[in-house]
Structure 1
Amino acid sequence: VPAARKHTEGQNTQGGVEQLAGGMGRVHERKISFGQIARTMTKMNNDRGNRATWMKVLLMTGMGMAFQSHAQTQGFRMGLALDPNVSWMNSRDFEHTTDGGRAHFGYQFMADILFAETYAIGTGVNVFRTGSSVEYWEPTTDSTLSRVSRNFNNQYVELPVTFKLRTKEIGYTTYYGKFGCGLGLNTRREAEEIRYVGFERSGDTWDPVEDAVVPSPDLISGDFASLFRASMIVGLGFERRIAGTTALMVGFTYNNSLFSTHKDQTVVKEDVSGVPRFGGDGPLTTEMLGHDSFLAMTVGVVF
């Protein structure tokens, strides 16, 4: 019996040792599995980070390409141009007469704000001269009337705002039309004036002056023109691409003043033959009303 008990205890001891060894092996296997999992997760995180980095790069590249495409169709275009024009005066009171047109010169800085390939808002700074000759009768004193001839030469700095319609490029050429308005500031008011006495009062009658002396013209400047000039602008033209976005621009613009150019000027009413009209108290007068207009040819370079 003691021998059998010892044999049984030996078997139990050996089995325990084997179980302990097996458990340690499984623990080692678990350690290996956990290490492999950790390395795998680290690799996956690195791969995920690389994918995220590449996704960011691709996203930024796409945004850059989209922005570049957007900048090509929407953005700014600027240019410089010369603006010779032919200007004339218009009588709105029908009591003074105008005498044809006069050539002037101007220049401008142009800026187009494109919000689509074929639509833009045009603005900039225009500097130009305008005016031509007018003739009228003016009461000089209580007993004299003077015949006045003025050749206006006013200078304005204008800020235009126009809506511009553009075609897509046909060959190397883009055609455009524009319509809008402008606000100008009168920076120089001058005129060449000829003034002489044409009628004198004798009692209750007014008689023309015989052999009136016509003097040489005098250059005058004064507060005889409005400080501000609101205008309507209509134009058309084309741009011929030279290289890249640089283009030669040629166009024609009609610019018409909306309000009277004259300020605090009194004229005598005339009959159909141009003779002053008189009433019981003297010559019949009215406020001088008229405006200027011009047609300009624009030649410039757009960048």
Structure 2
Amino acid sequence: MKLNSLTLSIGLILIGNQLSNAQQYSFGVFADPQLSWFNSDTKRYDPNGPVVGLNIGFTADKFFAKRYAFSSGLSVNALGGNIRLMQSTYTLKTIDSTYNIAIGDNIKFKSQYLTLPIGFKFRTNQIGYTTYFANVGVSGSLRIRSYAWNETNQVDRETTKTDMAWGFASYQIGIGGEYSLGGESAILFGITWCDGLTRIIELPNSTITSQSLSLKVGIIF
């Protein structure tokens, strides 16, 4: 009887430890430099090059097993690109004025978004001081503010009114590593690819989406 009680106690302790490990949380902050550009489903508009931006925010991971986690966070994300009109003119409306953009002209857009990602994170066992990971998921972005540039009309970082969508959805795939600093702290590094699922610009007769490639740089506490 005593042996059975001892066995049961040890089993409960082991189960408790497993559940405790499975409920582990991990938090971090990051500042990711990135390139972003537009993708068009029509020849009416020609994606004409990327812009440089920064994605700044925090991550929050909830581990439901030793090496698997639900991943989320929140960031202020600067995205944009260049788009060239190929078949029709366009009326660009900003807070300062209204401009007629001619065929063959380029417009540069850049916007700030509040981005909320949701996904899964998969980690390897620690190799030396480094744990490698992959993550996949989707995200929703709400526009905070938008700017436009056009050399022909001397538009220089003017706030746009109706050109950029109020929000958009995308998916992301990333790989990277966590270099241990001792304890739970680690340097976070990696790369992330994002591709838009819904339109980012309200151009007529088109679906213009956003794509980006970012360098993950951060720290886990």
Matched, 1:107 2:18: no
More helix per residue: 1 or 2? 1
1:244 to 172, 183, 189: 183
SS at structure 1 position matched to 2:121: strand
Unaligned 5+ segments in structure 1 are 1-50, 195-213, 267-286
1:191 equivalenced with 2:148 (yes/no) = yes
Q: Does structure 1 residue 296 correspond to structure 2 residue 206?
A: no
Question: What whole-Å deviation, never above 9, does each CA across 1:114-153 have from its counterpart, x for those lacking one?
Answer: 011111111011221111111113166xxx9824421111
Of the three residues 149, 154, 163, the one matched with 1:224 is 163
Q: Is this contact kept in 1: 2:21–2:65, CA < 8 A? A: no
TM-score (norm 1): 0.61
Contact 2:120 2:135 in 1 (8 A): yes
Given that 1:191 and 1:220 are in contact with CA atoms closer than 8 Å, whether structure 2 keeps it comes out as: yes
Paired with 1:91 and 1:163, the residues of 2 have a C-alpha distance of 29
- The higher-RCO structure (CA 8 Å, 6+ apart) is 2
C-alpha distance in 2 between matches for 1:222 and 1:139 = 14
- 4+ residue runs over 3 A deviation: 61-70
Count of residue pairs brought into register by the alignment: 204
Residue 69 of structure 1: CA displacement?
5.1
Q: Which residue of 1 aligns with 2:33?
A: 84
Is residue 48–residue 106 contact of structure 2 (8 Å, CA) maintained in 1?
Answer: no
Contact 1:192 1:220 in 2 (8 A): no
TM-align CA RMSD: 2.4
- The one of 102, 105, 117 equivalent to 1:146 is 102
Deviation at 1:65, TM superposition (A): 7.2
Give CA deviations for 1:189-216 in whole Å, capped at 9, x if unaligned: 221134xxxxxxxxxxxxxxxxxxx342
CA contact (8 A) 1:74 1:117 kept: no
Which of these two proteins has the greater Rg computed from alpha carbons? 1
Shift of 1:63: 6.0
Query: For 1:72, what is the secondary structure of its paired residue?
Result: helix
TM-score after normalising by structure 2 = 0.83
- Greater percentage in strand: 2
What letter corresponds to residue 20 of structure 2 in structure 1? A
User: Residues of 2 paired with 1:181 and 1:240: CA distance?
Assistant: 26
Cα distance in 2 for partners of 1:181, 1:65 equals: 35
Deviation of 1:167 after TM superposition, in Å, equals: 0.7
Name the counterpart of 1:254: 193
Unaligned runs of 5+ in 2: 92-99
Identity in percent: 27
Q: CA deviation at 1:72?
A: 3.2
Question: Which amino acid in 2 is paired with 1:226?
Answer: A
- How big is the shift at 1:66? 5.4
Shift of 1:288: 3.3
Can you list the C-alpha shifts for 1:149-172, whole angstroms capped at 9, x where unaligned?
211111111111111111111222
- Work out the CA distance in 2 between the residues paired with 1:226 and 1:138: 19
Distance across 2 between alignment mates of 1:134 and 1:178: 30
